[in-house]
Amino acid sequence: MASPAIALAFLPLLLTLLIRYRFYFVLFYRAVLLRVWRDCRTGLSREERCFQYVLTNATPGDPESILDGFDSWCTKKEFISHIGPKKGKILDRLLSEHSPLTVLELGAHCGYSTVRIARALPLGARLFSVEMDQKNAAIAEKVIRLAGFDEALVELIVCPSDEVIPRLRADFDLEKLDFVFMDHWKKCYLPDLQMLEGSGLLGKGSMILADNVLFPGAPNFLRYIRRCGLYEWRVHRATLEYSKGIRDGMAELVYQGTK
C-alpha cells in the first residue's frame, strides 16, 4: 500500500522537472534517440541523410537555397549543431562590418557555416576551413562545391586544428588572420586560441567569434579571455540553434595586440 502513495508523492516533483527541462528532453530526443533510430533504419549517417535532403531541395550554385535546405532539415527532421539561422545572422553582420580577407574556420562539419561565411566574403578573400572528421569533411567538400565556391575561395583542410594551426604560416602562406570562427569541440577553444596567439597570426583588430560558449559551454575559454587582457570582448546572447528555450551565446573577441 505504501509504494503507490510514495510514487504519488513524487509525481509533482517529476512533473516540475519535466516542465522545467522540457527543451533539454526534446533536444535529447532529436539529437540522440531519433538519430540512433534513423541510423539503424536507413543505414546512413545523420550527415548523409541531411545531405541527401539538401541535394533534392536546393539549387546548385545558390548558397541561400543550400542554407535554407539545411535549416529546413534541422528544423523539421533531425538536429545537427550547425550555427543555424539566428546566430548565423550575427555572424553575417560581423563579416559584413569587417570584410575580412583571410578567414579561418575551426569545425566545418557538413559545410553549413563554411557556405554561410564564404557567401559573405569580399572579392579576393580566402577561407581556410578545418575539419578533422573525414566523413564530415567529405560531405562538407561536396556542399561547398555545390554552393559554387572554388578552392581559390574556400580550402577545406582535413586535419585536427592543433596540427593545422602551427603549419598555417609555412604550408598555407598566411601572414595574418582577420577573422577566426571557432565551432569545433569546446575543450579545444582555449588551447587553440593560445596556439593562435603564439603563432603570431593574430594582429591588432583580428576578430575571433566562438560559438556555443554558454551551451554546451566553454568556461575555461571565457575565464581566460576575461583575465588575459589581450581582447576587447562581449558575448552575444542567443538561443541554441534549432531549439527554443536553451540559452546559448557567441563570444566576439577583438585582439588588441600590437602588430
Ligand X SMILES: C[S@@+](CC[C@H](N)C(=O)[O-])C[C@H]1O[C@@H](n2cnc3c(N)ncnc32)[C@H](O)[C@@H]1O
DSSP tag of 113: H
Closest by CA to 72, choosing from 90, 87, 88, 50, is: 50
Q: How buried is residue 116: exposed, middle or buried, by Cβ count under 10 Å (0-12/13-18/19+)?
A: buried
Greatest CA separation for the chain: 77
Name which of 106 and 193 has its Cβ closer to ligand X. Answer: 106
Name the one residue in this structure whose C-alpha cell is 592543433: 162
Name the one residue in this structure whose C-alpha cell is 517529476: 14
CB of 63 to ligand X, least distance (A): 13
Name which of 178 and 211 has its Cβ closer to ligand X. Answer: 211
Which residues make up the interface to ligand X (CB under 6 A)?
81-83, 106-107, 109, 112-113, 130-133, 136, 160-161, 183-185, 188
Helix, strand or coil for residue 2?
helix
Name which of 194 and 256 has its Cβ closer to ligand X. Answer: 194
CB of 85 to ligand X, least distance (A): 11
CB of 236 to ligand X, least distance (A): 15
Whole-angstrom distance, CA of residue 229 vs CA of residue 143: 39
Long-range contacts of 133-138 (CB under 8 A, 24+ apart): 133/109, 134/158, 135/45, 135/47, 136/47, 136/108, 136/109, 136/110, 137/108
Q: How buried is residue 63: exposed, middle or buried, by Cβ count under 10 Å (0-12/13-18/19+)?
A: buried
- Closest residue to ligand X: CB criterion: 107
Name which of 46 and 82 has its Cβ closer to ligand X. Answer: 82
Whole-angstrom distance, CA of residue 57 vs CA of residue 54: 5
Name which of 132 and 177 has its Cβ closer to ligand X. Answer: 132
Whole-angstrom distance, CA of residue 91 vs CA of residue 194: 22
CB of 116 to ligand X, least distance (A): 7
CB of 132 to ligand X, least distance (A): 4
Task: Report how many helices (DSSP H) and strands (DSSP E) the chain contains, helices first.
Answer: 12, 7
Catalytic residue numbers read: 183, 186, 211-212, 241
Name which of 86 and 256 has its Cβ closer to ligand X. Answer: 86
CB of 151 to ligand X, least distance (A): 19
